[in-house]
Amino acid sequence: AQSVTQLGSHVSVSEGALVLLRCNYSSSVPPYLFWYVQYPNQGLQLLLKYTSAATLVKGINGFEAEFKKSETSFHLTKPSAHMSDAAEYFCAVTMNTGFQKLVFGTGTRLLVSP
Amino acid sequence: GAGVSQSPSNKVTEKGKDVELRCDPISGHTALYWYRQSLGQGLEFLIYFQGNSAPDKSGLPSDRFSAERTGGSVSTLTIQRTQQEDSAVYLCASSQTSGNQYEQYFGPGTRLTVT
């Protein structure tokens, strides 16, 4: 079975500061990993995904994540936070064979202060 | 193009009533998924359709929950005899096919409140 753990239900940064949202996964087989963002009263939007190609994945809005097998991590980063980045972020995992449901972490709410 | 749409956007119902939630996937997407987002349980998978069949219903929490998909397009999630613990946001997603590398596109959700 797969699972993901997101450390920190809330992360606060100042505008212009580095954003780091942590995600660790557990999977018995090579996983596919995703980061989704959810703005208030909206559905989920895919930021980026890892599907066993490059370990450093670049996504939309300047976000990127690095797959580190040795650390079972897939942390999300952005060099400089913008006010519009304030949202809830979900890490998700699935297996890379057949269909398996997306298993989501509990989410991290990013707060950006001016 | 048009994204995934869901209706209604909000639904308030009395305990014990039945409700139907609708999902219109992106045109041409053969895979469709239902998830539930609640404060206590986070984001949970409910059911997956490939075409009109549902190979995985493992996330449906009880036999009060059912879903169908017709014409390989629209899907309806039905909750019978609603309970207060059914209050949540129900999210629908679709993807080109069922391969896990394909992005799931999410709709805005239906917020269900059971009073």
pLDDT tens, position by position, B53-101: 988 898 999 999 999 999 989 999 999 999 999 999 999 999 887 666 6
List CB contacts (< 8 A) between B108 and chain A: 41-43
A102 and B CB contact within 8 Å: yes
Cα Rg of chain A, angstroms: 14
Kindly determine whether residue A99 and residue B42, on different chains, have CB atoms separated by under 8 Å: no
Question: Residue B94 to residues A6, A44, A83, B49, B54: CA-CA distances in angstroms?
Answer: 25, 12, 30, 9, 13
- Cβ neighbours around B54 below 10 Å, total: 18
pLDDT digits (tens, 9 = 90+) for B22-44: 999 999 999 999 999 998 778 99
Kindly determine whether residue B103 and residue A46, on different chains, have CB atoms separated by under 8 Å: yes
The alpha carbon of residue B83 is apart from the nearest alpha carbon of chain A, in Å, by 23
d(CA A48, CA A46): 6
d(CA B44, CA B35): 5
